[in-house]
Amino acid sequence: MKTDSKIDVASSLTDKLARGNVLAKECPSRNILQDVTSRWGVLILFSLLDGTYRFSELRKKITGVSEKMLSQTLQALEADGFVLRIAHPVIPPHVEYQLTVSGIEVAQRVEELVNWIELNLSGILASQQRYNEKR
């Protein structure tokens, strides 16, 4: 019986580790959450829902992002498996970015958040103004 109990605990622990726990300090899901929910991560994922873009097209579409931040964020999202970098073997180099299947899935969730914020913007701005007036 003790053996069965140990197996149940071990499989339960394995299941928990496989799922992740964003509230746990050392869980790698926190880094992925940071990549997805950073200002530039959200805007890149949201932009790529429209299709495939070259680096320069993304930079024009997402106003205010520096080349460095766009590059770093694209690399992080590529490492997470959300963005696919397609390098065409031509001169000058032609590189495009598009969402992977899991990238589309996470970007659709980001889109829901973006849409909610845009629909509720006036109320949020009013709350911010009231808060700032109290200070």
- Which of 66, 46, 38, 26 has the alpha carbon at shortest distance from 116? 46
Amino acid, single-letter form, for residue 48: L
pLDDT at 7 over 80: no
Got the DSSP string for 95-129?
A: EEEEE-HHHHHHHHHHHHHHHHHHHTHHHHHHHHH
| 92 pLDDT tier (thresholds 50, 70, 90) | confident
Average pLDDT, the chain: 90
Q: What pairs with residue 85 in β-bridges?
A: 97
Q: What is the mean pLDDT of residues 75-87?
A: 98
* Model pLDDT, residue 61: 98
pTM of the model: 0.83
